[in-house]
Amino acid sequence: MQSDEIRVAAGAATPSIHQFGDKLRHPRTIAAFREFVAGMRHYRATGSTERLAATPLLSINLDLTTACDHACGHCVDDEVINTGPKYSGDNVLHTIDTLADRGLCSVILIGGGEPTLHPKFGDIVRHIKARGLELGLVTHGGHAHKIVKVAEEFQPTDWVRFSIDAATNETYQDIHFGQAGKKPRNTLAEILSNGRSIKDANPAIQLGYSYVVVPPGQEYHGRKLRDNIDEIPGAAANAREHGFTYLSLKPCLIKRELEGETLMYGVRPDEIAALTARIRDRIAAAEAVAGDVRIVQSQNLVALLAGRLDVLREQPAICYAGFLRQVVSPFSIVHCPAWRGDVRAQVGTKLGYADPQAAAATAAATVQNLLHFNATRTCADIACFYNSMNRSIEHVIESDMPVEELEPSTARDTFL
């Protein structure tokens, strides 16, 4: 059973933002995808990696900073938050230019830390758009005035997503500040109002209400995490009332030293069954009050609800996605967001794409890392968000279809 079949079994359609196979055949990406397929076939036939090293990144997660003034208890990047490494504005702009010249199509500003805290945030947004790149932004929403100042730069395929994770202020305060004993900086009402201000500044922006679904009994780094499942319907109502475009639901991941970002690791099947029944009930209630707000379930949440996390844990040996989408951060460059900051997935330093010579070295390192990483073994406990993408790529590589016959898709965007 493949990822798309999981969705059929669960009664959930694959949202366009997660149709990565289609995005690889977007009119802007299909030429690079054809060349990647040809390069992988050439490697399998000859052992030569030269053509693979020429593969351009199509999409990146760009961590502008490790600084963050929230303290979410479930944050999988908790170990790197506020630890010091920084990107200068010039280095970020040089990186964007180098990758755009090589064929980059989209950038997601994320973290790591809180992107809007970078002193050159506005300049970076303007530069990304000046280079003709699609732009996504993940933020806690507490500094929305900085986003409003550049809101006119965002096009209909661009988006902003607020990490909220609650429907009431009590839960919001506990998740974003209280679990770490940090003084609150924002109320939920302020964050929701900030979302409205961004939509008022540019109604074309796709505005997301991000919600990490935290089950009972979860602990992370000694903190007891707050169960927020019952507030899913309230989040949908908030999203509708305050002008959000969609509610993004994803399960809480726990990063473990050896296994990476795990989901339901060590939880008994009977406990999972009771949990998924409760989540399904709350999602159904959310759909009843959402109005025009789309409810988007992540690939791994759908697999969890279908009882088929095992499918997403069965990885091909080569993670093909790592050739096409990477994380560029003040710590290092890694080929997968699930391994942010982990040397096992590191393919370059933070300046690895700052100029063409550095980019060539990083591309060569990417090839060697991914060919020997063995995702089947290393990612065996990860319910991989990109499993379906990797399987579809492998299917194309192993087929006898000429790359010229790969047809362009009607995908809306190029974010991976």
- Let me know if residue 10 belongs to a domain: no
337 dihedral zone (left: phi>0; alpha: psi -120 to 50; beta): alpha
Pairing mode, if any, of strands 223-224 and 219-220? antiparallel
- Let me know if residue 151 belongs to a domain: yes
Report percent pLDDT > 70 for the chain.
Answer: 95
How many domains is the chain partitioned into structurally?
1
pLDDT tens digits, residue range 315-327? Answer: 999 999 999 999 9
CA 75 to chain centre: 13
| Beta carbons of 379 and 260 less than 8 angstroms apart | yes
Q: Does the model's pTM come out above 0.85? A: yes
- Let me know if residue 99 belongs to a domain: yes
Q: How many CB atoms lie within 10 A of CB 348?
A: 23
- Let me know if residue 21 belongs to a domain: no
pLDDT band for position 101 (cuts 50, 70, 90): very high
86, 134, 238, 320, 396 from 403: Cα distances, Å? 41, 26, 46, 16, 9
Whole-number pLDDT of residue 70: 93
Q: How many CB atoms lie within 10 A of CB 322?
A: 24
And the tokens for 211? 């919600």
Lowest mean pLDDT among 15-24, 81-90, 343-352, 399-408: 15-24
- Let me know if residue 128 belongs to a domain: yes
50, 166, 179, 409 from 383: Cα distances, Å? 31, 24, 26, 27
- Let me know if residue 401 belongs to a domain: no
CA nearest to 413, candidates 138, 17, 5:
17
Whether 9 shows a pLDDT value over 80: the answer reads no
Domain of 115? 57-307+322-356
Q: For position 222, which CATH number holds?
A: 3.20.20.70
And the tokens for 92? 């970020």
CA nearest to 16, candidates 198, 164, 157, 128:
157
Whole-number pLDDT of residue 10: 45
Whether 2 shows a pLDDT value over 60: the answer reads no
- Let me know if residue 40 belongs to a domain: no
Element (H, E) at 33: helix 30-46
Rg (CA), the chain: 20
- Let me know if residue 402 belongs to a domain: no
Q: Strand (E) positions, 102-237? A: 106-110, 134-139, 159-163, 206-213, 219-220, 223-224
Whole-number pLDDT of residue 324: 98
Whole-number pLDDT of residue 269: 84
